[in-house]
Amino acid sequence: MILELDNILLIPRITELMKEILPVSVNTFENMIVDAMASKKALILIDKKDEEIRGFVFATIEQMEAEDIVFIQISYIRPEYPKIGFELLARVRTWAKKMEIKNWIYMITPRDIKGFEKKYKFRFYGRLLRRRIDETSN
Beta-carbon-side half-sphere exposure of residue 82 (alpha carbons within 13 Å): 5
Segment 43-83, tens digit of pLDDT:
999 999 998 899 999 999 999 999 999 999 988 889 899 88
**Confidence label for 137 from pLDDT (cuts 50, 70 and 90):** low
Asked if residue 138 is part of any domain, the answer here is no
Helices (H) and strands (E) in the chain, counts: 4, 5
Separation between Cα atoms, residue 17 and residue 114, nearest integer Å:
23
Partners of residue 43 on adjacent β-strands: 59
| Structural domains in the chain (count) | 1
Separation between Cα atoms, residue 133 and residue 138, nearest integer Å:
10
- Pick from 69, 57, 45, 68: which is nearest to 109 by CA? 57
Write the CATH number for 30.
3.40.630.30
What domain range includes position 55? 2-120
